[in-house]
Structure 1
Amino acid sequence: MWVMGLARPPVLPGPGRGALRTWVTRIGDGMEAVPMMRMPGLGRDSSVLVYAWFLWGLGTGLWAYTWPVFLSGLGADSVEVGAVIGIGSLIATLVYLPGGFVAQYGYHKWQTVVLHGLHTVATGTFVMATSWWHVVPGVFVQNFVALLAPAVNSFLTRIADEERIGVARLYSVIGSAQFVAMTVSPPVGGWVAREFGDGAVFPLALIGCGLSVTMMAMLRSHTGPSRVDDTGAPLDPAASAAPSTTTRPSAFSQGWDVYRSLLAMPVIRMLLATSLAIHASIHLAVQFAPLFLREEYGFDSAAIGWTGSAASAGAALLVLLIERVRRRRGLLVAMYVACALTAAHYVLILSSPLLAVQLVGYAGRGAMAALGTLITVALTDWCPRSQVAGGVALLATAAGVAAIIFPPLGGWLYSIDPRAPFAMAVVVIGGAQFLVWRTFRARREDAIPSVVAV
């Protein structure tokens, strides 16, 4: 079914907006009015998100799984690979919390477009790199735009609420769409890298991601009064449309109040600790898996591309299956399943040089995507809708701290013994199960003890 949606993008107030701003506004009007086919059970904008995330997966899948191999080909050793990844994580972590303040300014659709647009341009610059440190400016831009990530998640939550499809379902569907695309593109990227050089994948990635950004520009802005309350429940239409008579506080004041309110909640502090522990296990080992397969088992770029395809196929399936587990058995069981599959991936990496075994392990690695979705869904369930952007910023900061500390540590372990990062990751994710149990079980019993320092 084809539907037509008309909505104006946000227009900044003030006289004399100028020809450029008027031109941009008219283009935005036209893009928001483009007819779009709805997917079954989804609204117009949620369908656009599925198409956009699918295209994003096509673009990023061409290079994401072979990124450490690309850096190695530019002369980086394992410690330098970890350092590049750690630098990017440091930049992103530093801007996540300021991003919570930026989200208070609104214009969430356009923040979504700018984030992905600048990330796409930065990715395209990697084709010019002739030494590993040449990628650092692009990595800086890719991660600095995380300043806008809290607004993106808040925007997705509002679309899910207003189109009545559920936050968990929207995250699962768009995540699955992205990983379906990333099932196809890694083998293509591996073949292109083998035949034409590692840098040849980036112009193709620029095309896929650029089309994705174009789809994002077709989203409606959703700048009117929200039709749901802070729990996601529908508001009375008359009350929703009534003009506010209160003075809107500054963005800084709003952001500060959000952070203070969230950190006062013991369950949120426990969730932050859980996120930190899980991401610590991931960042210890994941970046070094392609290097291990190439150096220890002799896999070429095409074979590594196939493992990436298996990981994406596993993610596309496991995100949906683990979401079903969550609905039937609860968050606690779903988290256990996802963590167990992630640990199995590390074990299988060390167990056999057979490609078939690695494909099975990488399919289980897709549970990592489900872990991120489950943590975000827990956040949206446990905090008011008006505080989702701030909550996402806090979660991303916790994950970013892990991404700063553990890739260099993993690189150091890899330089001592290539098996060490994977063995350590199994130990860490096993220990993280205590925090998973403490957070979700205590929440279910509605008795969260304050055991994590703020």
Structure 2
Amino acid sequence: MVRLSLGLGRDNTRIFLGMIFNEGGLGIYQTLWPIYIASLGASPPQIGLVIGLLGLCRLVYLVPSGMLGDRIPPRTLIVSARLVAAFGTFLLGLAQSWWHLIPGVFIMSAGTIAFPALSSTIAERAGNGWARTRAFTLIYTVAPSAAFLVTPTLGGFIAEHVNLRALLFISAGLTATGAAIFSTIERGSVSTQEGPPVTYRSALVERPIRLHLLLMFATIFVLTLGVTLAPNFLQDIHAVSIERIGWLGSIAAIGSALLGLVISRVAPFRRPLAGIALGITSVAGMLGLLLTGRSFIWFVFAYLLRGGFMVAWSTFYAALGEVTPDRLRGRAYALAELLAGAGMAVAPFVAGWLYGWRPQAPMVAALLTIPLLLLAIATVARLLRTDQPPAPTLVEEHV
């Protein structure tokens, strides 16, 4: 019945289910992650340091991920990496001071190695055109949204009535469960390519791939800059309780699901770059409401719009799938994770220092930069139309 309703096929349906648990492990603590770090004695710059360090560690592990994908079967790589992530998350729960988080962050971030292989598997199983965009939307937007509908609210309740530390232990269990589901997909094989070896440079010399990757880095950096310390802002400036901040994380999931529905149902937004622009614009609305809001209902609407972050990020994988030849897919998705990790690594450092100067500053900086992102998206779309003819029949195809 699940397969019929999703229309993803055997492996992608199982990846969809695994992602619900995997993202549930993230959702149970992500909204309260900066507050957990602060509870261990960290100042705003130190909070930014820990969050940014996670992004830096992602970069360290993503550099060899493409080469590992050439040598290790996809299922083995995915399951092993996610189990390591579960162990690292467990260690985070044991921390007694903010700097004790560093070993757990380093180990947990190794789980990022799974995602280029996961993206390549999704693309391979999904087919071409709109079917591929739909698969990425369901797996990278709808599945996380389903998890985030429940887990942030649950996390806020547990944090309020038990403690913040318990969230990390629950997260480790959910992540391990996701890995167990991933272990049921087909083993897959190490791909072999005829001709010259495929390297990261092979992907970067392709102009459409390069433009998408640069745009992805800029987008993740700017949006992360704006939203990273939003929970601390709500707690410090507006005295919003931890439990209510957890509710807002679930509200964001509703926003992601609604925006995902718009992308799947409204024809102009089926083009990935248009969907990305929609997500970015939604986050701009969130930042504006947080800066001007004076009551909790304003923050509810703000976090409804925060769902655009997840939509924008996930839609980049569909956009890359449209412009990447099959032989370069593994390297392109590894580079996507690498540059997204770079954006997530740098932005929290900047956000932490700006927040220490003035709590509103990270959101103001992101809000002022978003128009430049939208201009860049329009420019890339125009350049791609000039470089190569579009394939509207694939984009407009109905499933």
Deviations along 1:275-330, one digit per CA (max 9) or x if unpaired, are 12111212212210000000000011101001101011211221232243466663
* TM alignment of 1:93-242, pairs within 5 A: 93-161=59-127, 166-174=131-139, 175-223=141-189
Q: Which amino acid aligns with 1:434?
A: L
Question: Structure 2: how far apart are the matches of 1:355 and 1:80?
Answer: 28
Tell me if the contact between 1:42 and 1:165 (Cα under 8 Å) persists in the aligned partners. Answer: no
Please state how far the C-alpha of 1:194 moved relative to its aligned partner. 0.9
Q: Report if aligned partners of 1:102, 1:148 keep a CA contact under 8 Å in 2.
A: no
Is 1:91 matched up with 2:57?
A: yes
Give the unaligned 5+ runs of structure 2. Answer: 390-399
Partner letter of residue 136 of structure 2?
A: Y
Corresponding residue for residue 27 of structure 1: none
Separation of aligned partners in 2, 1:108 and 1:224: 7
Partner Cα distance (1:303, 1:403) in 2: 25
Count the aligned residue pairs.
387
CA contact (8 A) 1:63 1:189 kept: yes
| 1:423, distance to aligned residue in structure 2 (A) | 0.4
Structure 1: tracts of 5 or more residues without a match:
2-36, 226-243, 449-454
Q: 1:254 aligns with which of 185, 192, 197?
A: 197
Whether 1:346 and 2:312 are equivalent positions in the alignment is: no
The aligned residue for residue 266 of structure 1 is 207
Match of 1:311 in 2: 252
The alpha-carbon distance between structure 1 residues 222 and 447, as it changes in their structure 2 partners (threshold 3 A), is: closer
User: How far, CA to CA, are the matches of 1:379 and 1:329 in structure 2?
Assistant: 14
| Contact persistence 1:338–1:370 (CA under 8 A) | yes
The CA RMSD over aligned residues, in Å, is: 2.3
Contact kept? 2:24, 2:174, Cα under 8 Å: yes
Q: TM-score, normalised by structure 2?
A: 0.91
Aligned counterpart for 2:271 among listed residues 327, 330, 353: 330
Deviations 1:333-372 (A, max 9, x none): 3232222111111111111132211111111111111111
Structure 1 residues 139 and 92: CA distance shift in structure 2, 3 A: same
Match of 1:241 in 2: none
CA deviation map 1:424-452 (0-9, x unaligned): 0011222112211111121123269xxxx
Residue of structure 1 equivalent to 2:45: 79
Task: Identify which range, 52-61 or 284-293, moves more after superposition.
Answer: 52-61
Instruction: Describe the SS at the equivalent of 2:64.
Output: helix
Which gives a bigger RCO, structure 1 or 2 (Cα 8 Å, sep 6+)? 2
| Separation in 2, partners of 1:89, 1:353 | 32
- Paired residues of 2:89 and 2:172 also in contact (CA < 8 A): yes
In structure 1, what is the Cα distance between the partners aligned to 2:383 and 2:197?
29
Matched-pair contact (CA < 8 Å) for 2:263–2:275: yes
Which has the larger displacement, 372-381 or 55-64?
55-64
Q: Which amino acid aligns with 1:254?
A: P
In 2: Cα distance, 1:204 partner to 1:54 partner: 14
Matched residues in 2 for 1:203 and 1:330: separation? Answer: 39
Distance 2:118 2:52 in 1: 23
Classify 1:327/1:173 alpha carbon distance in 2 versus 1 (closer, same or farther; 3 Å). farther
Query: How far 1:216 sits from its partner (Å)?
Result: 0.8
Of the candidates 6, 17, 20, which is equivalent to residue 54 of structure 1? 20
Distance 1:262 1:127 in 2: 39
DSSP-derived class of the 1:254 partner: coil
